[in-house]
A and B are shown apart, each in its own frame.
Chain A
């Protein structure tokens, strides 16, 4: 087992011993289930309306009516929930004075950060895995295209990974877990709102640049079933940037 794997294993163990994963997981899956139920309900109501207006059996598009809405709504759930998962990663080490031990172990700071990030990413992927149940169950009763669902899941994975990297960064800033969660929540919300700022500028170069910074547009593409390299580059580079900044923050604590 390499040192990075050791960090991952230790972090996973820490997550499952504490109630955090169970509480966050339960809330996430509950809300995901509720949202699915609501959107399926709306779609059903719409179908009945269509039938009454047109007569006969109405064809409704579950991809548009359920999944796109569902994936769009999940953003806000992730925004609130993922900072709770990441807040302990570094803040707790500082609080319990194990940070000094980690930094005096013969392991590179990069390995520590990657280990911690991968562990929380695995937890998130596990949670996301449960949600596959929703399209699977719907498949039994209706017919829809799985491709946009897979891109939607890719979008959730990438968006989640970006959120988690922001959370890891925020956690490295402080020894207070609440502060860490709040800082990452604030950062994520700010980046969200930048999209609105971009639309104020309209169809100009400045507008495009500002919109590019926000994850909204990139995520929307994936939810709509569009895989664009520039979106993948956006998520990849954003994630690397946040982890790099985390490295700087951890490194700088040694100089204080």
Chain B
């Protein structure tokens, strides 16, 4: 549905995005993750034909962003960083205006309007001036605008900014419900959002894609060892030694709470059974045993913060994702 091939955008000497390549399949929800200034908005602006790329090409629903901008724009619902609302219009007037710009008329427009207002629960404010609405409502009006003409592609730049926790969950549910029928790209720097909503994550830093995969795969790949956390009722002096004696255990570290330990195991080995057996047979009182998976947050920080020792795995990942796309 969306194909981005080697796009580069330069502002003078500053390179905002550098040879970015990715694609989104029909019905897929893709998260665009990255710190501020990483190039997320620039990429989205190129896809929505707001600005052309310096190099490379992007296609949306088979139309080229540079050569067929009007066709591309018809396929897209776009929510920019700041909700693009006119304060002097009421919600209904605004959405009617948006619909007409997109060539909607009569029944079509009324139906789309009612649906968008229903989906975003704007019914109670539909006749109020947007200028008098709160930040959260404006954001929802902005989202309603993007959904109005039921476009096959949605590009949402930080869709949950300014919403309260309950609304955030509702909007995430809404985006999830769009998967399957719509292709969605959403940018965010809230990591749980990406895990909650998206099937695939692209991590971008300083204008370059540093990783691309499912959230689970990403954390699995960056993990250097399996980690198991246990909590014991009693702490015998020799438990450290006995735990280390289990084949495959690499390290035993004291945990945060009293009686808890963090065990590092060889990658790809599940030693929970052996650990449990040892603890139970030694009668240490097993209160808790769980594997610790790396959260997307850890992955993100590793990929974007410590660039020095990360160039290797990062490049390896881009390599694998490129292979995957080729295949």
Contact = CB atoms under 8 A, between A and B. Distances in A.
A103 interface: yes
Nearest to B80: A100
A98 B86 CA distance: 7
Contacts of A5: 100
Interface stretch (B87-95, B169-177, B311-319): B87-95
Which range contains the number of B residues in contact with the other chain? 20 to 34
B248 interface: no
Interface in A202-256: 254-256
A104 B97 contact: no
Interface in A1-53: 1-3, 5-7, 9-10, 13-14, 17-18
B51 A255 contact: yes
A1 B45 CA distance: 28
B45 A14 contact: no
Interface string A91-106: 0000011101111111
A5 B80 CA distance: 24
Contacts of A254: 50-52
A78 to B, nearest CB: 25
Contacts, number: 73
Contact of B89 (A2, A13, A100, A104): A13
B50 A104 contact: yes
A10 B89 contact: yes
B97 A9 contact: yes
B49 interface: yes
B78 A1 contact: no
Nearest to A10: B97
B51 A18 contact: no
Given A3-B103, A9-B97, A103 B50 contact: yes
B82 interface: yes
Given A10-B97, A254-B51, A106 B102 contact: yes
20 contacts: A3-B100, A6-B97, A10-B93, A10-B97, A13-B88, A13-B89, A17-B89, A98-B85, A98-B86, A100-B45, A101-B80, A101-B84, A102-B101, A104-B48, A104-B49, A104-B80, A106-B73, A106-B74, A106-B101, A255-B51
Interface of A: 1-3, 5-7, 9-10, 13-14, 17-18, 96-98, 100-108, 254-256
Given A106-B101, A106-B103, A255-B52, 8 more contacts: A2-B100, A5-B100, A10-B89, A13-B88, A97-B80, A98-B84, A100-B84, A105-B98
